[in-house]
């Protein structure tokens, strides 16, 4: 063994081991004191990268959930205010329904109108003023707004809340004119606008609701159109519905037929043939016989009601203020053909269609023998929808202005246009408010669906956040059981190294023994 005093290799190597063990023990001590396993990038470069990415995702998930909670808070305010608007619409509906009752006098209707106006004003204010932190929610400006919920780019939920101001609540409407025609001859020869024949139609939003059949001619009927609209799933999905109404208040009644002049003029076989609804003009729905020029209004009413009841037809007659009033249950068309036989010399006979049907014209004859005259009154068809739509008709006139038009665009009526001063206005108000309530409920449902969606995302992301933080912790944080075991090992190694360094430092003393 070579013995040297200028260089102690054993002591030097032992010192190197001491420094190494000291560094490991110091790092272990820091891990135990900080709870972090990766103290710098050199400890675990790949692990640090993964842990940092996981930490970023976790922080983003946490912020995303904070964004969701903010969005839900805003939507809760919007939904609550929309609920208040719906409640006020119900109040308007009830008052419009009350105003539709003709028992109300003008003062009562005026009071109801004032109440409605107050509710409309309240709805306008709620729609205009509802906000979250200065952001308007129900005035129509809260559209195409994004809630960024996720940890990555473009993980968003789109929110749009339509305006719920009174000026933006109402119905898109097309209202028919309930036209009347009259003339001489058979009802099958009436103005073609009132008759539905082959290749003629009425369409709503491109959906056929009335169409003619080959070889048959029917009366144009608003009730049939309304029924077909209300039972069509396509139109229902578009929020389109319809009502029909037909009430005829004729001129003051004196007689069905008036003999204006002539000698020994006699009226025989006086018969009223009624065509109700979408009736085939080839045969009447029912007939009223046993009539004469002396038939009174009360007798006529009784005969019409008796014949209608016997044939199960939806029409009733009444005498009101000396006038014949005819009503159909669902707005069915009323067609009347008067047939009679005239005898005598130089007769001058007038068939008082104007006393039988509102808006009809009296028809005259100066001839003896059979004579027929007719009058047709189509019910008023009102079509309403949430969004704009187009009505098209061909060969008939049920919603056109004065002549058949190819297309009729819907017009918008909002809550501010409600006028319940008449029965007609109150009935229309009911439809307008119904559509307004449907819109509010639709928007509330949309808000609720978005809130549920956001809550589901929140719950899912909370689980993802927990798992992501756990995954980061596995990589980044100290395993105390393992680290403490290693720390003890480093302590023992340090103690042993120090002891061995002391031994290594004594080796050069052997030289002194050689020099004795």
The whole-number pLDDT of residue 497 equals 75
The whole-number pLDDT of residue 482 equals 74
Which SS3 state, helix, strand or coil, does residue 204 take? strand
pLDDT of 323 higher than 90: yes
Residue extents of the structural domains in the chain: 177-191+217-381
Provide mean pLDDT across the span 162-172.
94
Tokens at residue 500, please?
Answer: 């061995």
pLDDT tens profile 194-240: 999 988 999 999 999 999 888 889 999 999 999 999 999 999 999 99
State the Cα–Cα distance between residues 449 and 469, nearest whole angstrom.
30
The whole-number pLDDT of residue 41 equals 65
The whole-number pLDDT of residue 514 equals 66
pLDDT of 479 higher than 70: no
**CB hemisphere CA count around 510 (13 angstroms):** 11
pLDDT tens profile 17-69: 777 777 777 776 776 666 666 667 666 678 777 877 888 888 999 999 999 99
The whole-number pLDDT of residue 455 equals 94
pLDDT of 433 higher than 60: yes
Closest CA relative to residue 374, chosen from 351, 395, 358, 394: 351
pLDDT tens profile 69-109: 999 999 999 999 999 999 999 999 999 999 998 888 889 99
Closest CA relative to residue 121, chosen from 418, 387, 421: 418
pLDDT of 404 higher than 60: no
Question: How many CB atoms neighbour CB 50 within 10 A?
Answer: 16
Confidence band (pLDDT; 50, 70, 90) for 488?
confident
Q: What does the mean pLDDT of the chain come to?
A: 89
3-state secondary structure 151-182: CCCCCEEEECCCCCCHHHCEEEEEECCCCEEE
The whole-number pLDDT of residue 350 equals 96
35-39, 255-259, 306-310, 481-485 — which is least confidently predicted?
35-39
Alpha helices in 363-422 (DSSP H): none
pLDDT tens profile 107-154: 999 999 999 999 999 999 999 999 999 999 999 999 999 999 988 999
Q: In terms of pLDDT, which residue wins out, 127 or 7?
A: 127
Phi, psi of 288 (to 5 degrees): -115, 115
Phi, psi of 445 (to 5 degrees): -65, -40
pLDDT above 70 covers a percentage of the chain that reads 90
Closest CA relative to residue 173, chosen from 439, 437, 432, 407: 432
* pTM, entire model: 0.77
Residue with tokens 């519905």: 241
């Amino acid at each position: 063994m070579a013995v040297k005093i200028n260089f102690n290799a054993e002591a030097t190597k032992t010192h190197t081991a001491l420094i190494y063990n000291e560094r490991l023990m110091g790092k272990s001590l820091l891990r135990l004191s900080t709870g972090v396993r990766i103290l710098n990038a050199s400890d675990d470069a790949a692990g640090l990268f993964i842990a940092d990415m996981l930490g970023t995702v976790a922080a983003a998930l946490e912020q995303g959930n904070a964004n969701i909670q903010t969005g839900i808070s805003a939507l809760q305010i919007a939904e609550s205010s929309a609920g208040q608007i719906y409640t006020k619409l119900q109040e308007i509906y009830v008052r419009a329904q009350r105003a539709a009752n003709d028992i109300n006098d003008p003062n009562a209707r005026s009071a109801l109108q004032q109440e409605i106006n107050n509710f409309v004003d309240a709805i306008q204010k709620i729609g205009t003023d509802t906000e979250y932190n200065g952001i308007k929610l129900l005035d129509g400006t809260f559209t195409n707004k994004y809630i960024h919920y996720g940890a990555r780019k473009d993980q968003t939920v789109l929110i749009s809340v339509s305006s719920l101001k009174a000026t933006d609540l109402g119905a898109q409407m097309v209202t028919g004119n309930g036209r009347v025609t009259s003339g001489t001859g058979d009802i099958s020869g009436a103005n073609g606008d009132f008759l539905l024949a082959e290749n003629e139609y009425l369409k709503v939003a491109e959906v056929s609701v009335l169409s003619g059949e080959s070889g048959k001619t029917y009366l144009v009927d608003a009730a049939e159109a309304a029924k077909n609209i209300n039972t069509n799933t396509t139109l229902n999905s578009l929020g389109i519905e319809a009502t029909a109404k037909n009430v005829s208040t004729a001129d003051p009644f004196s007689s069905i037929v008036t003999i204006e002049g002539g000698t020994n003029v006699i009226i025989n076989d006086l018969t009223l043939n009624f065509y109700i609804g979408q009736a085939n003009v080839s045969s009447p729905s029912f007939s009223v016989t046993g009539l004469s020029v002396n038939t009174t209004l009360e007798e006529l009413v009784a005969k019409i009601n008796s014949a209608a009841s016997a044939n199960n037809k939806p029409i009733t007659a009444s005498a009101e203020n000396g006038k014949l009033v005819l009503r159909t249950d669902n707005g069915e068309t009323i067609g009347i053909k008067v047939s009679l036989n005239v005898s005598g010399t130089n007769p001058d006979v007038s068939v008082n269609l104007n006393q039988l049907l509102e808006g009809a014209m009296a028809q005259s004859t100066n001839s003896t023998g059979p004579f027929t005259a007719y009058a047709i009154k189509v019910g008023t068809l009102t079509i309403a929808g949430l969004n704009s739509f187009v009505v098209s008709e061909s060969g008939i006139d049920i919603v056109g202005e004065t002549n058949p038009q190819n297309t009729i665009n819907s017009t918008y009526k909002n809550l501010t246009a409600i006028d319940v001063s008449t029965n007609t206005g109150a009935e229309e108000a009911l439809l307008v408010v119904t559509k307004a309530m449907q819109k509010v409920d639709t928007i509330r449902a949309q808000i609720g669906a978005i809130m549920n969606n956001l809550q589901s995302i929140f719950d899912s992301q909370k689980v993802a956040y927990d798992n992501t933080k756990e995954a980061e912790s596995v990589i980044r944080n100290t395993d105390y059981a393992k680290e403490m075991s290693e720390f003890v090992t480093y302590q023992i190694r340090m103690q042993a190294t120090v002891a061995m360094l002391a031994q290594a430092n004594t080796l050069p003393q052997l030289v002194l023994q050689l020099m004795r």
